[in-house]
Amino acid sequence: MAQQQIPKQLGRYNLVRPISKGGMATIYEARRNSIAGISPKVAIKIIDPKQASNEAFKKLFINEALVSSNLRHKNLIQIQDFNEDAGYYYLVMEFVDGLTLRHLFKTCRKHGLMIPQSLVAEIGRQICEGLHHAHQASTPEGIQLGLVHRDIKPSNVMIDGRGVIKVVDFGVSLAGIAQERPGAIRGTWGYMSPEQASGQPLTLRSDVFSLGIVLYELISLQPMFPNRQNTAQIKKLLQGDEAARMIAKLPKDYKEIKPLLMRALQRDPEARFATAEDMGKALSGLSSDLVRAREDLIFFYKKIKELRENPKRKGLPFEFFQDKSQGSNYSTNVFGFLSVILVGAIIVLVLYFVFSGLVGNKKQTPEVVQESSPPTIVEPTPTEVIVETKTETVTNTPVVKQTKTKTKIRAKKKKQKVEPTKKTEVKALGYGQVTISADVTSRVYIDGKFVRSAPLVKHKLPLGKHRFTIANENGDRKNFSFTVQDGYFYLYQWSFYDNSWKWKKHQKMTNPR
């Protein structure tokens, strides 16, 4: 009912549809009326009618407009206009045709897709560039804003189809040009720094801490602090350095970014990165090619958008999204992807025939020994036979020949033992690895014990038969079992939508870790 009170036109802007709604305001897609029938698309933020008479909300809204108007950076949302009409304050912003990191997070979690380390680093790097500009911003008169965003969270960061990250919503930002009651706590619980949650004075390092939480959630695909309503518990966890400890539990595929997140999430602000710029430089060091990182981000974004538009669509293979040490190009076109599959198939066939040849040789060796047939066996000792045949009348000739024959057999046996050993020497690992995912939020159980929420990535298992269960939130379950062999990798992805396996693969580990 409240939304219907807002007129369809404010000033020269026609409201098209609501995009998102928060506690203070609603954002609409709108069109700006211009000459010659040109009507650019914009986003308009309007104070909720229920809060229109709330002076505190008005001050925050005006503060956002005042602060944002001084920011000009590609990684920050751009403000185009601020006005009032029919009693409604409204803020006009550039329209970002994209997704929030919250959307990205939820889609990846639903389909069991991990976000590769290189992409997490690229997302974090761009956020750092935007934050650094905001932290250093000043008014046209040269007055330093002393700006701290105070509300860095997945829903306040967007990604568009060009692979550009945008930090949005400076509604609760702290700036030196605006007056505020000392000790005021503003922001979102679960993303606050320890000093912010305690109402202590803030520096720009508080935003660095919040960004560390956001990047952690992009990796783990689950909130760092799930119960955000329990503020007392969150304060206790923050004071106990729980945020930094949780980084140690991240998968090994993210080993290069873990030390950076550990530093960003230190309880003591002085132990964190001094600036967002410093953190951005550290994150950029994880990518050997920033151009390729941007291309990979564009490709990943397109795939996520496809999955959102068609939830039953089959996603890319789980390991295709896993980060590679040399950096894989996720923007590879369909032809390139099929080429990779073809080359992989050829390699598998070659290994199969080589392995088959080894096994065949191993089986044939004893048969050749039993057959006393000539060519391969008699060839090493022809001279011995000629020497003994000089004296045909010697009575003990048969005995000598028999002795020589035994000698030949012993020689052959030595060849049997030595040759296969060199060819089939394999280092035993004593374990296998399993990756299990699903297309909806699920929990993974192994041998009746809960391990973690899907996706389960490269989990080590002892050799032998194991029972597995994938259970979703609706109570649906998929039970299966298989025998883990030494040095093998197992990939299982179950679709609860189609009630079928999307990926089911066993292969020898080429780079176990």
DSSP characters over 22-58: -SSEEEEEEEE--GGG---EEEEEEE-GGGTT-HHHH
Residues 6+ apart with CB under 8 A from 386: none
CA 248 – CA 227 distance, rounded (Å) = 21
Identify the active-site residue in 81, 85, 97, 151: 151
CA 301 – CA 331 distance, rounded (Å) = 10
Torsion sign across C-alpha atoms 474, 475, 478, 484:
positive
Q: At what angle do helices 117-136 and 205-220 cross, to 10 degrees?
A: 160
Token pair listed for 265: 């999430």
CA 432 – CA 425 distance, rounded (Å) = 19
φ, ψ of residue 109 to 5 degrees: the values are: -65, -40
φ, ψ of residue 473 to 5 degrees: the values are: -75, -15
501: amino acid identity, one letter: W
Annotated active-site residue 151? The verdict is yes
Token pair listed for 339: 């080429």
Active site residues: 151
